[in-house]
Amino acid sequence: MNHKIIDLAKQFRISVIHDGTFPIEDQYQEYLLRLLQAEAEKREERSLAERLRQARFPAFKSFDEFDTDFQKGVTRKELQLLEKLEWLDALFNLILIGPPGTGKTHIALAVGNKAAREGYRVAFSSMDNLIHVLKTREISKKSAGRLGWIKKCDLLIIDELGYLPVSRAEANFFFALVSELHEKASIIITSNKGFDGWAELLGDAILATALLDRLTHRCQILNFTDESYRLANRMQIFDNNQI
C-alpha cells in the first residue's frame, strides 16, 4: 500500500488501514490518499488558526517590513538569523531594550507570527496583563486558562516590562513563572529600561539578579537606542505647508 496512506492513517489512528485489517484495493488508493490529505490540510489549517488565536497578537508585523537602515540596533543578517527560529529550538531568550517607538514590539511580533505559523505554541502578553493573570489565576477561570496556555507554550512574549511598577508579591509570581519556563520555553522581553532599571522595578536586587541569571543564561540582548520610528514617521491631520 502507498506509504503516504499508511503514514496518514497512523497519524489519524485509523488502525484498520495501517495494520492491514482492511485492505485497500489498488484502484481506491489514490482516492483514499486524496481524502486523507484533504483532512490533514484541514486539520493543519484549524490548528494554525487556533495557535494564532491563543497567541493573542495585538497586530501583525513582519520581518520584511522592518527597516534596518532606520534601526541600527539590529542588522539585516541578525534579523535573518532571528527569522530562522533555530534559536527557539535551542531555547534561547531574546531581550529587546530601548526607548519607546524604536521597533521592539515589532520584532517580537514578527518572531511570534513566524513561530506560530511554523507550529510553535506562542503566547503574547503585556507585562501588566501577565501580572494580572498570575495574580488572579486562583479566582478567575479565564486567568487559569490563559496561564495553562502560557505554561505549555514554546515561546512567551512579554511586552513592555518597566512601564508600570510591580509589587513585591507580583515580582515573586513573575520570578516563579520565569523559573518554571526556564529551559522549557523561550522568552522574549521588551523593555524601556536597562537591567539596572529592572532591579529597581522589581524592588529587590537579589530577586532581580536571580531573574536575570535565568533569563540571560542563553540569551540575545538587542539594544535599540535610535530615535522613535513613530515620531520620525509621524502623520498629521493638517499638513503644515498648506496652512
Q: How far apart are CA 123 and CA 128, in angstroms?
A: 14
Question: Which letter, b or e, does each residue of 47-63 get, where b requires 16 or more Cβ atoms within 10 Å of its Cβ?
Answer: eeeebbebbbbeeebeb
- State the pairing for strand pair 122-126/155-161: parallel
Q: Are 102 and 71 in contact (CB under 8 A)?
A: yes
* Binding-residue pattern over the window 57 to 76 for ligand ADP, x denoting contact by CB under 6 A: ----x---xxx--xx-----
Residue 230 touching ligand ADP (CB under 6 A): yes
Considering the complex, state which of residue 32 and residue 123 has its C-beta at the smaller distance from ligand ADP: 123
Task: Pick from 71, 93, 105, 126 the residue near Mg ion by CB under 5 A.
Answer: 105
* Closest separation in Å from C-beta 102 to ligand ADP: 4
- Identify which range of 20-28, 38-46, 84-92, 98-106 contacts ligand ADP by CB under 6 A: 98-106
Phi, psi of 2 (to 5 degrees): -50, 125
**Which of Mg ion, ligand ADP, none does residue 191 bind to, with CB < 5 to 8 Å depending on kind?**
none
Contact between 108 and 98 under an 8 Å Cβ cutoff? The reply is no
Identify residues 185-204 at the interface with ligand ADP (CB under 6 A): 190
Verify binding: residue 51, ligand ADP, rule CB under 6 A.
no
Closest CA to 211 of 224, 222, 200: 200
Residues 6+ apart with CB under 8 A from 83: 63, 110, 111, 114
- Does 126 bind Mg ion (CB under 5 A)? Our answer is no
Q: Which does residue 112 bind out of Mg ion, ligand ADP, none, counting CB within 5 to 8 angstroms by kind?
A: none
Q: Which is nearer to Mg ion, 161 or 181 (CB)?
A: 161
Residue 186 near residue 178 (C-beta atoms within 8 A)? no
Question: Which positions touch ligand ADP (CB under 6 A)?
Answer: 61, 65-67, 70-71, 98, 100-106, 190, 229-230
Question: Which positions touch Mg ion (CB under 5 A)?
Answer: 105
